[in-house]
């Protein structure tokens, strides 16, 4: 299982009905996201808030598709290498 940290740029939405006349300026915001790496290809990276190996369970929270052209920095961590291995509890016999 992999977790990704992504620093990327995205569009800004602003209210256009402002009564004060001012020059329009093109601008982007820089965002930082962390999530489970669900999929990636040459166009985009998909991260999610949750992941499961159970085919009967569908994760219901957000998934974010980030265009590769918007990514400034991306780091991926393999959780299996980072977290200590779980010990199985001994079962009582007899």
Asked if residues 72 and 7 have their Cβ atoms less than 8 Å apart, the reply is yes
Burial of 39 (0-12, 13-18, 19+ CB in 10 A): exposed
Please report the pLDDT score of residue 53 as a whole number.
Answer: 75
**Would you write out the chain's pLDDT as a tens digit for each of its 94 residues?**
899 999 999 998 877 776 566 667 778 999 999 999 999 999 999 999 887 777 777 666 788 999 999 999 999 999 888 777 766 565 555 4
The pLDDT value recorded for residue 19 is 56
Distance CA 72, CA 64 (A): 16
- Give the pTM: 0.72
């Amino acid at each position: 299982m992999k977790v990704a940290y992504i620093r990327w740029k995205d569009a800004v939405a602003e209210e256009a009905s402002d009564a004060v006349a001012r020059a329009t300026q093109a601008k982007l915001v820089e965002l930082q996201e962390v999530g489970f790496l669900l999929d990636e290809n040459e166009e985009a990276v998909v991260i999610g808030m949750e992941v499961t190996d159970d085919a009967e369970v569908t994760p219901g929270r957000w998934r974010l598709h980030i265009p590769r052209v918007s990514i400034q920095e991306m780091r991926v961590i393999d959780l299996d290498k980072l977290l200590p291995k779980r010990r199985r509890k001994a079962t009582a016999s007899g």
